[in-house]
Amino acid sequence: MIVSETVKKCIKKDIPFAFIRLPKDKKIYLIKEDKNGIYTYSFQSFDDSKKYTLQFSEFIEVKDITTLNDLIIPLSKNENTRVISENEYLSLLKKTIHYIYQKKTDKIVISREKWIDKDTINPLQSFGFLCKRYPTSFCHISYWNQNEIWMGATPEILGSYENTLFTTMALAGTLPDVDSIPWENKEIEEQKYVTDYIGEKIKTYASKFTINGPETLHLGHVKHLITYLTAELKNSNLLTELITSLHPTPAVCGIPLEKSRNYILSNEGYNRGFYAGYIGLETTEYKKYFVNLRCAQLYNNGALLYVGGGITAQSNPKKEWMETELKAKFIGESL
């Protein structure tokens, strides 16, 4: 009852709040804005042009999320549901591959929006589904205002700092999660790009670091190659600078970074907003940052999903389209 009444008050006064579930943790928490709070929850956009920050003072544990299924979170209407078509996306991928062939870049991540028409979205029910379906992901519903409500289940950590250790991951290379489909050079090279890039960044801030991987991360619809990196920072005060340096990683942008980012901003055809940005959770015990993937904006007439994939000279446009369709199922099946 406390959780339900708290959320109703937040909605009535348009106060930011979020439901969150950390990776490999069964506990679900509600956090709500308290301007005197010493903890911070934040959203940073892909292009760093926008940031939302929610200060809070406590984690309110939700014992059973299903008891909140009848709680209504009002959603606004999306008046612009026009998104890129399959043919338009394939044309963009062909153009991108040609650009890469000309030795302009090694890899560019091309994303798109996918609209799902639905007039009966229950955000908390969908969130509960994601928590059960993806126990190793960071799951959230983030209510920033009546027009911007995000939901996601991201598998990717940008960085975590706890007990003097900094940990991160290189997550890249995607295939359908079927054992009979082996990793090929395209995915292996793509993942190595990301690992090498992150390793070089960490060297600037760490006295030493270790690398473990790559290994396969199974997520139901897709599987990824993942490498774990752990470091001891030279100084804890360097954490903010390191996170800023790591964002965006080649896993969501490309290599070389600046040329890839410029290509994305000039050719992708829409504003990513908070997609492929990052979510921060900062407390007195730890600081965790998650790349905002497998996410969607929720509306009362449907959901706007964000999906993408790393394009290299070896990419097959049709396969890349199918990869984005598989990634869209993460949120799509929860609605």
Q: Cα separation of 270 and 308, whole Å?
A: 13
Residue at token pair 């870049």: 105
Residue 189 pLDDT: 86
pLDDT of the residue at 104 = 82
CA-wise closest residue to 312 among 174, 140, 182, 125: 174
What residue ranges define each of the domains in the chain, with the CATH number in brackets?
Answer: 2-68+83-161+255-332 (3.60.120.10)
User: What pLDDT score was predicted for residue 1?
Assistant: 60
- Residue 103: what pLDDT? 81
Residue the block writes with tokens 């990793």: 183
Residue 180 has pLDDT above 90, yes or no: no
Residue-wise pLDDT for 81-103, tens only, equals 999 999 999 999 999 999 999 98
- What is the Cα–Cα distance from 51 to 147, expressed in whole angstroms? 15
CA angle, corner 299, sides to 294 and 303, nearest 5?
A: 35
- Mean pLDDT over all residues of the chain? 95
